[in-house]
Amino acid sequence: MNNWIDDGCGNKWHRCRLGPDCGLRVVRAGKATCWCENQEDSRVEVETARAEIRKLESYIAALEEVCTIHQLREARKEEKP
């Protein structure tokens, strides 16, 4: 993984020790911003989000085992106001 990001205009920034989980993003040419002010808190937030994603993916898989795609789509339509 390349730990450098660039804006395409010759400016480069190095990601923090979080590597691919670093929140460093190019905002516009010559400017980047990062939400990784506290690396440990950021790592905990990323891991919490990943755990939630895994939980939701397993929930979806369980639903798909008992419902057809058509039933899932119909249920989703009924939820919308």
Whether residue 72 lies inside any domain: the answer is yes
Give the mean pLDDT of 68-80.
Answer: 76
In terms of Cα–Cα distance, which of 9, 50, 54 is closest to 32? 9
Whether residue 40 lies inside any domain: the answer is no
Whether residue 73 lies inside any domain: the answer is yes
- Split into its structural domains, the chain has a count of 2
More confident residue, 20 or 58: 58
pLDDT value for 16:
81
Least confident of 18-22, 48-52, 62-66: 18-22
Is this model's pTM higher than 0.85 or not? no
Farthest CA pair distance, the chain: 53
CA 28 to chain centre: 21
Note down the domain range covering 55: 47-79
Give, in order, the Cα–Cα distances in Å from 68 to each of 36, 60, 72, 78.
42, 12, 6, 16
Each residue of 23-48: pLDDT tens digit? 888 889 999 888 776 667 777 878 88
CA 13 to chain centre: 20
Give the mean pLDDT of 72-81.
Answer: 73
Give the mean pLDDT of 55-73.
Answer: 85
| Residue 2 backbone phi and psi in degrees, to 5 | -80, 120
Whether residue 53 lies inside any domain: the answer is yes
